[in-house]
A and B are shown apart, each in its own frame.
Chain A
Amino acid sequence: MECVVQGIIETQHVEALEILLQGLCGVQRERLRVHELCLKSGPSLGVVSSEVRLLCDLDQPEPTWTVKHVGGAMRGPGADQISVMVRTMVESKVSKNALRMFNALGYKLDHELLKVGFAFHFQRTANISVSVSSVNKMLKVHAIDEAVPVTPGMQIVDVTAPATPANYSEVSAAVSSLCEFLAPLVHLSKPFNSTGVVPTAAAAAASLMSDGGVTATFFFTFIRNNRIHPYTQQQIETELCQRTSIRGYLV
């Protein structure tokens, strides 16, 4: 099971988002270069048609493979009240023969993507992963060196956190809380429920970039440590203008 939200951001604001995430997470970013292959069962195979994803992490010295099955999202009044998607998900690390095996079992390539960007993995009540990546398509099968962006100038932001039936409420709350911090730059919502780019993103990005992000880092460390409600865009800009007073709070 996992909690998921997604959003989109203009490529020109990605650097600002990285600074913001660096301040919030307190960990180093990791490079992301993942070849994702989506396989679907052939016409007569299975009780119902099924889909499985193979993920090849190309950023390792030796590519590593993961098989992932994403199931249905939680539905009903309880699900409607949660701002994140809660869905079943199982994954397994596998050796390099996975594509060949699934082909032999009757699964065919439906589509493939190359995601290039960066990710932050950290712990805040839950294990949260935030990735920011451009999504690229291949013009020829498996030709990752010739991949081109699906939406030039735009990148996708994915926030995921593993959950269980016992703790998905807590995990959802942790993800929602993170979303509020990122709201000035990117609106995160349930997948397939996008509201587009954030109109204040340019101003927020400009503020974050104005001093190389030093103030932002201190600022969000303060918010995180004191667990105060995240600021609106206007309050962010006001506080950034009062850097001296912010530093006075820090010990």
Chain B
Amino acid sequence: MPVKWVLHWQPNQGSTVSSQILNEATQCVESINGVKEGRWKATLNYYKPLLRDQTNQAEFPRDFLGISLADQPNKYYFIIRSQRIVLEADSSIQLIMERLQSYKSKVALYFEGFQYQLGDFRLRVGKVVPTHSENVRGIVMEVEYLPISSMEKSRKVMEEFLEIWHEALSKRSLPGKFVNIDLNFGEFGLGDNYTPQHTAVRYALVMAHMIATVQAVRG
């Protein structure tokens, strides 16, 4: 599977994320000759335990989330980031979780936007919104380099692409930047060969950073 980086929009101190920034980002992709291919969508659920005794809450993970990815329609991914666990499953695992009645999805988010082809790259730019709201909570960008599936071998070309991207975006003087977070996939039992599980872990980390940013702004 091609290597993919998942970037998220980090607003400058004092500014917030909005649909306008998403529009600017998509226009920027088109300005560097990105060819629009269509829409994309991913869904993320935060799960909370259903407890008969609330005093035991600390025994259960607070960061248990599930995600369905746009390019894996028959699969579902669970991540417990604090314990470095990632699991790939068939989509039917969601029905199993429902039947168990031990965990319930408390917050659900969509990642949705447009997909572009740009030479050997595939880009997806999208907003992060709660499922029953149009309130933009964040912006993400997937950068996929199609010829290579080794993360090490693709690093240089990905970094070069991002330099080009940052330069193009900087001309629009937006109050923030797209950020890529490096992480140690080995801690999750994942290797150098890229898989959808890598993407699921990336999204979990992006969410953690976005939440931290929101909390910092509120603080």
Contact = CB atoms under 8 A, between A and B. Distances in A.
Contact of A97 (B52, B56, B189): B189
Interface stretch (A40-48, A174-182, A185-193, A198-206): A40-48
Nearest to A97: B87
Interface stretch (A87-95, A125-133, A149-157, A221-229): A87-95
Interface stretch (A98-106, A138-146, A207-215): A98-106
Interface string B29-56: 0000000000000000000011111001
Interface stretch (B18-26, B93-101, B133-141, B154-162): B93-101
Counting chain B residues whose Cβ lies within 8 A of the other chain, the interface size class is 20 to 34
Given A50-B100, A101-B78, A105-B102, A90 B49 contact: no
Contact of B100 (A43, A46, A104): A46
B61 A105 contact: yes
Interface string A155-175: 000000000000000000000
Contacts of B91: 92
Nearest to B195: A95
B89 A94 contact: yes
B103 interface: yes
Given A52-B96, A69-B99, A90-B95, A98 B87 contact: yes
Contacts, number: 93
B197 interface: yes
A67 interface: yes
A105 B26 CA distance: 39
A71 B60 CA distance: 25
Nearest to B77: A95
Given A44-B52, A67-B93, A94 B87 contact: yes
A199 B99 CA distance: 41
- Interface core residue of B50, B60, B90, B102 (most chain A CB under 10 Å): B102
B80 interface: yes
A162 to B, nearest CB: 12
A46 B51 CA distance: 5
B174 interface: no
B52 to A, nearest CB: 5
Contacts of B56: 44
Interface in A52-97: 52, 67, 69, 71, 88, 90-95, 97
Contact of B85 (A43, A46, A50, A104): A104
A92 B93 contact: yes
Interface of A: 41-48, 50, 52, 67, 69, 71, 88, 90-95, 97-98, 100-101, 104-107
22 contacts: A41-B102, A43-B52, A44-B56, A45-B52, A46-B102, A47-B52, A67-B89, A67-B96, A90-B92, A91-B96, A92-B91, A93-B90, A94-B89, A95-B87, A95-B89, A97-B86, A97-B189, A98-B87, A101-B85, A105-B64, A105-B80, A105-B103
Given A43-B53, A45-B52, 13 more contacts: A42-B59, A45-B60, A45-B102, A46-B101, A47-B101, A52-B96, A93-B90, A94-B87, A94-B89, A95-B197, A100-B83, A104-B85, A106-B59
Interface of B: 49-53, 56, 59-61, 64, 78, 80, 83, 85-93, 95-96, 99-103, 189, 197
